[in-house]
Amino acid sequence: MNRSSRIKKSIGEHVFDTFNVVLMILLCLTTIYPFLYLLSLSLSSGNISLTKIHLFPPEFSLANYESVLSYGYIKTGFMNSIMRVVLGTALELFFCLLTAYPLAKKYLPLRNSWTGIIVFTMFFSGGLIPSYILMRELHLMNSIWALVLPNLIPAFSMILIRNYIMSLPDSIEESAKIDGAGEFTILYKIIAPMVTPILATVALWSIVGHWNAWFDSLLYSTSPEKQVLQVVMRNIIQQGDVTLEAGATSTVLSGSVNPTTIKAATIMITSLPVIAIYPFLQKYFVKGIMVGSLKG
Amino acid sequence: MNNFVTLKKSRVLILCAAMLASFTACGNNEVNKGANAGASNSSESSTPNFDKKIKISWVGWSSPVNDKGEIVKEIEEKFNVDINMVDASDGAAFDVKIAAGEVPDVFPLDFSKYQKFIDDEIVGEIPYETIEKYAPNLYQAYQTEVPTYIDLTKIGDKNYGLVVPNPESGNFRPLVVWRGDWLKNVGITKVPESLSEFEDAMYKFTNNDPDKNGKKDTYGLSESMMQTVYGAYGYLPTSWTRRDGKLVYGAVQPEMKEALKVLAKWYKDGVLTPEFINGENKGGDWSIATDFVNGIIGVTSYADYLYWKPAQSAGDREGSNITEMRKTIPDAVDKLVYGKPIAGPDGKKGLNMRNSLQGRFIVFGKQVEKDLDKQARILSILDYSSSTYEGYMLTRYGKEGVHYNMKDGYPEAIAPYSDWNEIVKIGGGATFNNAIWLPSIIQKVNREYAWGKSLGTLQSDGIMNEVILPLPSASKYQAEIDKIRSEAYVDMITGKKTIDYFDTFVANWRAAGGSVLEEEAAAK
């Protein structure tokens, strides 16, 4: 850093840097602006004009959040979402590691065929309707397992872990063996702690994926209490879009809240948990992808 | 204890009677279906005797509905059915279930899928005789209240669906709303009715500072009132209407050239806001006429009339635009003036009038076709919920005193049931009446409808699109020719192309598939 500042920059470089910074700031603003707008809307009382754009709530109110959080299915939705995230991510990490470890061993018989079979699922799937029929015939409808099992071992994540394990020196394992460790001890005492960065990456993908997923829930769950938060949110958001009867949709609620601010609050509530987790996992996220790059 | 025993005895007796009745009913069913139906129809009670409990999978107009909702339970008890509410709010998920063979017994179906679902034998026939037998009130209402539409559900001589009337916004044209204070400020005393008077007002709104703020920051009109200019020349660009008895598409009629000339001139003179391309609503609730509410333009016909309804009494619900204007330009609210569509040089005029249908039919799954008992049960539920006042009140609003109260003769929902999601959740809203809202019932319960009717003028001067079900080839060509149309129109209005381009546009439009649709429409 010091050294580069000592080297004089030409005018062209200055222009280029300024241009870059300005462009970057603009880009960031376009990303953050809609979010700020929603945040401001969600914190506004229902009396504000919706035809003007506010970056700060003109009339501060928490009524929207109160109203959304008191909607019956929000609680069940939250619980279902958290359950699928926790269960889905934990099982995914466990089974991915369990699959990746043997596949990383060069002496595994038919290793390339096994890998090939798994990679095959990245490009071809049975399709939506057969998957649905399968879930139904397995009697997994309305069960959390319908949301967790189909994507239990994402091929891409598994291969990342496999490649990461392959990059570890064999000698570590050999020394453990000499000390008398069995295969499972080696996996859980030696390998698992060493692959934490890549596991964190995979975990983050899994968390975000499970948190955002909604279509499978809509498909495999038939009762409203079984739906995940995203589906509940979707129902609230879409409410005003179907005009059936003006009284029921447009000017629904009395003074303190109105549908638009309610929608904003709903969106904030559903996106905040992921935003809150992100900073803590992000360092692994960036590092993990780099270190896990193809080395096999 | 004694009481308990006698009660038990009476229950047993009832049960025995019920079982006996069901046996005989079953027998009748097998021997002579008609006789059974006739018998239940002639009995005085509003519901036929349904002794055997049957299961029905039901899709309401909106989702989600809780199977154990209060109104669901009411209906289950009244009609002795076990209802499984199916959520069909997402079209893609619903299609997967249909493809996997899970066809609900009753569901609303988009016009665009109607023919396909019949061809694929997903939906079954609902003969008119059956409707007449088991839903006599509904049948009667169809004949008298929406007679022009009932044949739409027929394919050949077979009927597969029930039409869903839309009295609230159907058969009404938009309300033309003027800023009365602006008219006064620019010295116009008579609300413009002819194109020349209208043009004069538009120019004055733009140039004479109608809002008296010393700045030239106003325009005459935006997208919604452009329609009245087209209408003044006899056609609306996106409507199929009759010309010499034949259905033709508005956008390609030579008269539109004249309308475009007018609009192009107004655009050039800054009378038409350049923002017209983005439409008149700019965020917030879809029903808000943003530019008008923000005091940028002086006249609008955006959104349905009901979004402009002022409070009729203290505490009455206002239209969303009125509510918004109270926040932006409160002084103008009481000075709004209602006008009419503008009359063109030949006296023609009109704004888009919606047909009085919702975009879906109610259909029964194929499996119901052979199950006469189920058909009867479903039709009875629909009949009760849509065409009897008592049934409509229960299935739309719930129970009086619990879910709604009566105020000035109209129902008013008690919070939280004023929220559509909340009332739908317990089985109200449009779950059992499935949005089959008949004018005769709606006028008793809906303030907006009553207000619209009271204005007296909203059901005339409308131009209605006469193609209701999509033309057979529409799915193939519509998207492309719509793009050609809107691009050409915008280019000609903004001056990017001259008006002479119109003939090229018509040729392009026809070549891209428009001519096929024209032929199909002409055959109607």
Chain B nearest-CA distance from A264, in A, is 11
- Nearest Cα residue in chain A from B59: A222
Q: Looking at residue B9, what is its pLDDT?
A: 45
Chain B residue numbers with beta carbons less than 8 Å from the beta carbon of A227 are: 64
The amino acid sitting at B155 is I
Chain B residue numbers with beta carbons less than 8 Å from the beta carbon of A244 are: 61-62, 358, 420, 429-430, 435
How many residues are given for chain A? Answer: 296
- With a cut of 70, say whether residue B17 has pLDDT above it: no
Coil, strand or helix at A31: helix
Written as one string, the DSSP assignment of B246-303 is EEEEGGGSTHHHHHHHHHHHHHHTT-B-GGGGG-S--SSSTT--HHHHTTSBSEE--S
- Nearest Cα residue in chain A from B305: A246
Query: How far apart are the two ends of chain A, measured CA to CA in Å?
Result: 35
Q: Looking at residue B14, what is its pLDDT?
A: 45
Q: Looking at residue A49, what is its pLDDT?
A: 67
The alpha-carbon radius of gyration of chain A (Å, integer) is 25
Q: How many CB pairs under 8 A join A and B?
A: 121
Distance, in Å, from the CA atom of B518 to the CA atom of B365, rounded to the nearest integer, reads: 34
Distance, in Å, from the CA atom of B79 to the CA atom of A126, rounded to the nearest integer, reads: 42
Contact at CB, A218 and B435, closer than 8 angstroms: no
The alpha-carbon radius of gyration of chain B (Å, integer) is 27
- With a cut of 50, say whether residue B510 has pLDDT above it: yes
Q: Are B374 and B368 in contact (CB under 8 A)?
A: yes
Q: Looking at residue B45, what is its pLDDT?
A: 40
pLDDT, tens only, A94-116: 999 999 999 998 889 999 999 99
Out of A123-127, B229-233, B248-252, which region has the weakest mean confidence (pLDDT)? A123-127
Out of A116-120, B5-9, B114-118, B363-367, which region has the weakest mean confidence (pLDDT)? B5-9
Distance, in Å, from the CA atom of B340 to the CA atom of B177, rounded to the nearest integer, reads: 9
Residue of A48, A246, A252 with shortest CB distance to B418: A252
Q: Looking at residue A6, what is its pLDDT?
A: 61
Chain B residue numbers with beta carbons less than 8 Å from the beta carbon of A128 are: 96
Query: Phi and psi (nearest 5°) for B407?
Result: -140, 125
Chain B residue numbers with beta carbons less than 8 Å from the beta carbon of A239 are: 420-421
- With a cut of 90, say whether residue B252 has pLDDT above it: yes
The verdict on whether omega for the bond into residue B64 sits within 30 degrees of 0, i.e. cis, is yes
Distance, in Å, from the CA atom of B320 to the CA atom of B305, rounded to the nearest integer, reads: 11
Q: Which residue has the higher pLDDT, A2 or A79?
A: A79
For B245, other C-beta atoms within 10 Å of its C-beta total 6
Distance, in Å, from the CA atom of B146 to the CA atom of B131, rounded to the nearest integer, reads: 15
Chain A residue numbers with beta carbons less than 8 Å from the beta carbon of B437 are: 245
Q: Kind of pairing, strands B158-159 and B154-155?
A: antiparallel
DSSP state of B343: B
Mutate to test the interface with A, among B65, B285, B386, B445 (most CBs of A within 10 A): B285
Q: Which residue has the higher pLDDT, A69 or B370?
A: B370
Q: Are A84 and A212 in contact (CB under 8 A)?
A: no
Contact at CB, B288 and A132, closer than 8 angstroms: no
Chain B residue numbers with beta carbons less than 8 Å from the beta carbon of A247 are: 317, 446-448
pLDDT, tens only, B175-215: 999 999 999 999 999 999 999 999 999 999 999 999 999 99
What are the structure tokens assigned to B49, written together? 């005797």
Instruction: Please check whether residue A260 touches B, CB under 8 A.
Output: yes
Contact at CB, A71 and B62, closer than 8 angstroms: no
Instruction: Please check whether residue A48 touches B, CB under 8 A.
Output: yes
**b/e map A163-172, b = 16+ CB within 10 Å:** bbbbbeeeee
SS3 letters for B66-81? CCCCHHHHHHHHHHCE
Q: Choose the most confident range, by mean pLDDT, from A33-47, B96-110, B276-290.
A: B96-110
Give the residue from B136, B143, B103, B108 showing the smallest Cα distance to B120. Answer: B103
Mention every residue, 6+ apart, whose C-beta is less than 8 A from residue A26: none
What are the structure tokens assigned to B443, written together? 């006028």
ipTM value, please give it: 0.72
The amino acid sitting at B359 is G
Contact at CB, B320 and A128, closer than 8 angstroms: no
Q: Are B346 and B97 in contact (CB under 8 A)?
A: no
Q: Looking at residue B411, what is its pLDDT?
A: 87
Average pLDDT of the residues in B147-155: 89
Q: Are A88 and A286 in contact (CB under 8 A)?
A: no
**Could you give the count of Cα atoms lying within 13 Å of B247 in the half-sphere of its Cβ?**
19
Residue of A218, A224, A248 with shortest CB distance to B66: A224
Contact at CB, A219 and B93, closer than 8 angstroms: yes
Signed CA dihedral, A99, A104, A105, A111: sign only:
positive
pLDDT, tens only, B317-342: 788 899 889 888 999 999 999 999 99
Chain A nearest-CA distance from B288, in A, is 8
- β-strand partners of B81: B54
Q: Kind of pairing, strands B299-300 and B176-179?
A: antiparallel
Chain B nearest-CA distance from A31, in A, is 18
Long-range contacts from B74-80, C-beta under 8 angstroms, 24+ separation? B74/B394, B74/B427, B75/B381, B75/B385, B75/B395, B75/B427, B75/B432, B78/B47, B78/B384, B79/B47, B79/B50, B79/B377, B79/B380, B79/B381, B79/B384, B80/B50, B80/B51, B80/B52, B80/B53, B80/B54
Residue of A49, A215, A254 with shortest CB distance to B93: A215
Q: Are B58 and B84 in contact (CB under 8 A)?
A: yes
Contact at CB, B318 and A251, closer than 8 angstroms: yes
Contact at CB, B324 and A51, closer than 8 angstroms: yes
- Give A173's pLDDT tier (boundaries 50, 70, 90): confident
Chain A residue numbers with beta carbons less than 8 Å from the beta carbon of B323 are: 251
Q: Looking at residue A290, what is its pLDDT?
A: 52
B340: Cα separation from own chain's centroid: 22
Q: Are A238 and B89 in contact (CB under 8 A)?
A: yes
